[in-house]
Amino acid sequence: MRLSITLIALVFAGALSMSASAAPRVYVFNCGSINITDVASFGLTNEETDVRDLFVPCYLIENGDQRLFWDGGLPLSLVGSKDLELEPGMKVSYPRSVLDQLQDINLTPADIDLVAFSHFHFDHIGAAGAFADSTLLINKREYTAAFLQADQYEIFDPSLYSKLADADRIELTDADYDVFGDGSVILISAPGHTPGHQVLLVKLENTGPILLSGDLYHFEFNRRHQRVPAFNTDKAQTLKAMQKIEQRLEAEGATLWLEHSQALADSLNLAPAFYD
Ligand SMILES: [Zn+2]
């Protein structure tokens, strides 16, 4: 009898501590930056914005004892680069590996349960190969395009993420996907930039709900004027996704975190600080 009361007390305490710790927190990592001289391919003229520096983030979302790594930054092979000219008109820098930054908060890829990427362009899956032991959450259309039909798309480079083809588990998603099953972190399909592009809604208790943009927009100007980059896979789909996500932002009272915004990054506290 005494034993069972102790057990009940333990279970109850466990439930309490679980609910107390289940509010998500978000860490933002510097996973490099890109400098471009010409923004025309993004659907705007060089006069319409003076922004030329794009921040490249990675994120860790913790929810109780579960962890999701979102967007993988520049390729790890670029770590240590400073103003390296990748192609004419495009320079990249990547001061310190995201894996070292994870180490700062005492984590290794083995501690990451889930990985998801807004899409499979080179500046979003750079560390992907380090997470082959995690479960990959990927929109089924992105999976088909990036893993099965990459030869049909100039924009995908399988050598950067082929290790994920052997991910411990691949979970194909379709529309919205409730990552932890408690409604706090939700993958939202927003196709058009790539066939299975998605964004991530995180309902933070103190900061308020935030929505990580992926590449729905690269510049504030794209958002204000609904401009679609020339290299998107589907313009009509992108415009529909923009409309859908703007409505969702409104409905959730969420703040859009424009992932490539250097101005936003400068205003944020990067890891080891976090938002909850
Ligand atoms: Zn990007």
Q: Give the domains, in start order, of the chain with CATH numbers.
A: 23-267 (3.60.15.10)
Residue 220 makes CB contacts below 8 A (sequence gap 6+) with: 49, 51, 258, 261
Its pTM stands at 0.91
Distance 209 CA to ligand 1 centre (A): 22
Residue 19 has pLDDT above 70, yes or no: no
Paired residues of 84 in beta bridges: 92
Residue 2 has pLDDT above 50, yes or no: no
Task: Please report the pLDDT score of residue 13 as a whole number.
Answer: 46
- Say which range, 112-116, 164-168, 186-190, has the weakest mean pLDDT: 164-168
Distance 170 CA to ligand 1 centre (A): 23
Distance 149 CA to ligand 1 centre (A): 20
What are the structure tokens assigned to 236, written together?
């009509």
Residue 264 makes CB contacts below 8 A (sequence gap 6+) with: 55, 257, 258
Distance 184 CA to ligand 1 centre (A): 25
Average predicted confidence (pLDDT) for the chain: 92
Q: How far apart are CA 241 and CA 220, in angstroms?
A: 16
Distance 41 CA to ligand 1 centre (A): 13
Distance 54 CA to ligand 1 centre (A): 9
Closest CA to 201 of 31, 64, 70: 70
User: If you search the block for the tokens 């950067």, which residue do you land on?
Assistant: 160
> How far, in whole angstroms, is CA 103 from its chain's centroid?
19
Burial of 164 (0-12, 13-18, 19+ CB in 10 A): buried
Q: CB–CB of 31/73 below 8 Å? A: yes
Q: How far apart are CA 217 and CA 231, in angstroms?
A: 13
Q: What is the 3-state secondary structure (H, E, C) of the chain?
A: CHHHHHHHHHHHHHHHHHHHHCCCEEEEEEEEEEEECCCHHHCCCCCCCCCCEEEEEEEEEEECCEEEEEEECCCHHHCCCCCEEEECCEEEECCCCHHHHHHHCCCCHHHCCEEECCCCCCCCCCCHHHHCCCEEEEEHHHHHHHHHCHHHCCCCCHHHCHHHHHCCEEEEECCCEECCCCCCEEEEECCCCCCCCEEEEEEECCCEEEEECCCCCCCHHHHHHCCCCCCCCCHHHHHHHHHHHHHHHHHHCCEEECCCEHHHHHHCCCCCCCEC
Distance 12 CA to ligand 1 centre (A): 45
List C-alpha distances in Å: 63 to 8, 53, 72. Answer: 25, 32, 19
Residue 6 has pLDDT above 50, yes or no: no
Return the number of other C-beta atoms located less than 10 Å from residue 83's C-beta: 9
Torsion angle (degrees, nearest 10) of CA 116, 121, 122, 127: 0
Task: Please report the pLDDT score of residue 22 as a whole number.
Answer: 75
Residue 7 has pLDDT above 90, yes or no: no
- The pLDDT tens digits of the residues spanning 118-166 come to 999 999 999 999 999 999 999 999 999 999 999 998 889 999 999 998 7
Distance 131 CA to ligand 1 centre (A): 19
Task: Please report the pLDDT score of residue 8 as a whole number.
Answer: 47
| pLDDT band (50, 70, 90) for residue 170 | very high
